[in-house]
Amino acid sequence: MSESQPLVLVVEDEPDLADLYAAWLGDEYRVRTAYGGHEALDVLDDVDGTVDAILLDRRMPGLSGDEVLAAVRERGVDCRVAMVTAVEPDFDILEMGFDDYLVKPVASDTLRETVEGLLQRGEYDTGVQDLFALTSKKAMLEAEKSASELADNEEYQALTEEIETLRADVDDSLEAVAETDDFEGLFREFDVDA
């Protein structure tokens, strides 16, 4: 396995499931497994935070996936995170710093596509990454909640407005690039906004 291949950390308290995910991904990526939240943070220390993507269970004994996610973001680990969990999403996900959300059971193709998508997002600038993460949350809530629940939730309405603003910013930046071919200017603009 080449050191140049992306490193994926699978965090799952069911060892058989963690090992299965690792087997599904092992042909294309370097994979490390952690069978709990504390072990996940130990692995991050071992690799000095140089992980490209994390697949993270939410409900684990000891240190929950939500707590691991908060620790990852507090440490400034620059990676994409997908929650892979049996926990149905609720409005609490709006405050969480993940990039994608999968509800178990998950098929091997879905898991591979998710990791591929996470890694592609990691190549984009912060504005586009934020847009992907927010639209993922919006889509997940729309799949799980009724139209009236969504309409009555202020956080969801704020999320929708934030997505529209980000989308307009991205569209404006892309238009500017198309008009001037100023790719450096595009990246400077996103870096200033971040």
- Whole-structure pTM value: 0.71
- Of these ranges, 43-52, 163-172, 184-193, the one predicted with the greatest mean pLDDT is 43-52
* Predicted local distance difference test score (pLDDT) of residue 132: 83
Do the beta carbons of residue 86 and residue 103 sit within 8 Å? Answer: yes
Confidence of residue 127 (pLDDT cuts 50, 70, 90): confident
* pLDDT score at 81: 94
How much is the pLDDT for 99? 87
The answer on pLDDT for 57 being more than 90 is yes
Q: Give me the mean pLDDT over the 67-91 stretch.
A: 90
Q: How far apart are CA 8 and CA 113, in angstroms?
A: 13
Q: Are 47 and 75 in contact (CB under 8 A)?
A: no
Quick one: DSSP state of residue 56? E
pLDDT at 30 (0 to 100): 95
CATH 1.20.1260.10 for domain 7-123: no
- The torsion angles phi and psi of 42, rounded to 5 degrees, stand at -65, -45
Whole-number average pLDDT of the chain: 85
pLDDT, one tens digit per residue, over 136-186 is 889 888 988 999 999 999 999 999 998 998 888 777 766 655 554 444 554
The residues spanned by each domain of the chain are 7-123, 144-193
**Considering the chain, what percentage of its residues have pLDDT values greater than 90?**
52
